[in-house]
Each structure stands twice: as C-alpha cells, then as structure tokens.
C-alpha cells in the first residue's frame, strides 16, 4: 500500500512539474512583413487564410485595406506594412491573412508569409521599453529570439486601439 502511495505521489509530482514547465512557455505564430519577423500570441490567432477578395471601403484610414466576408461575418483587414514601412502592400502567393480574435471581435492582418509556431521560454522574452517601442508606435510588446532571428511580438490590443482611434 505504501508503494502505491509513493508511485501516485511521484506521478502527481511529475505531472505538476510538467504543468509548471508549460507555464513558463509562450507560443507565438511567427510571420514576416518586409523580411522582418513578427509574432502574435498563438492564443489570439483564430485562423489563417489564403488571400481572398478584399473589398475597399471609402473614407477609412489608409492602414485598413478593406473588409472580407468570412462565413457571413464582415472582418476588417489591417495592413501593418503600410503602418510600419510606409509602402503599399502587394499580395503574393505566400501572403496570408491572419485572423485574430480580441475581446470577442475578429480582424485580419495581411502578412507577407506565415512562418511557424514557436515556443519560447518566458525567461528569453524581453519586454519592450518606451525607447524600443517608438519606432512601432508601441505596437511591439516584446522581443524574443528564434533560431537566428529576433522576433518582434506584437501587442494586438495596442494595434486594435491604434486603428480604432484613427477611424
């Protein structure tokens, strides 16, 4: 009987250690915009779409490409390239629309290419300071490293707030 308790105790300890290890990991969907690597917390990603017809809307901010109809729901498409690099977006075969969900609202982000989902230990994530964020209008919440690339992890709340204020 004591052996059973010991084995059960060891199994629970191993399980709690594994859960603790998972708690130290953040997952990001990585993608590129103008050859720069960006990331979005995986929990916020709803789906990834091949580019579809984007309907332009007159008199909206230039960073909003337009809207798409996603299974009956009208979703705005944000062009981060226009905001970060001041260049017009061109859609190529590897381009994708990353549909994110924030506060029960969906929006799409047009990216040049989706790369992969990466797992990053929280101790290797550097949260940005005001000095670093100035170039990206405080839209970058942290920086992490994956392989030989630095990944700028976007703060979706700041992005949505920025585009909401500029409508």
4-55 residue pLDDT tens: 655 555 555 444 444 445 568 899 999 999 889 999 999 999 999 999 999 9
The pTM of this model reads 0.77
Identify the DSSP state of 54: P
At 14 the pLDDT is 46
Q: What CA–CA distances, in Å, run from 102 to 1, 56, 63, 107, 156? A: 51, 23, 18, 8, 8
Higher pLDDT, 137 or 62: 62
The tens digit of pLDDT for each residue in 107-116 reads 999 999 999 9
Give the DSSP H/E element, type plus range, for residue 27: strand 25-33
pLDDT at 76 over 90: yes
Please name the residue that has the structure tokens 């909003």: 64
């Amino acid at each position: 009987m004591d052996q059973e308790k010991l084995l059960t105790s060891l199994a629970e300890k191993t399980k709690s250690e594994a859960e603790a290890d998972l708690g130290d990991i953040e997952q990001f969907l990585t993608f590129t915009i103008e050859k720069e690597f960006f990331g979005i917390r995986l929990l916020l990603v709803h789906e990834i779409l091949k580019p579809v017809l984007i309907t332009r809307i007159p008199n909206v901010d230039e960073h909003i490409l337009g809207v798409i109809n996603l299974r009956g729901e009208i979703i705005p498409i944000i062009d981060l390239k226009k905001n970060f690099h001041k260049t017009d977006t061109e859609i190529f075969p590897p381009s994708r629309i990353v549909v994110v969900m924030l506060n029960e609202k969906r929006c799409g982000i047009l990216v040049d290419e989706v790369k992969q989902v990466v797992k990053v230990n929280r101790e290797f994530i550097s949260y940005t300071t005001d000095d670093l964020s100035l170039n990206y209008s405080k839209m970058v919440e942290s920086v992490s490293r994956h392989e030989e690339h630095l990944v700028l992890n976007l703060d979706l709340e700041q992005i949505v707030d920025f585009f909401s204020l500029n409508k």
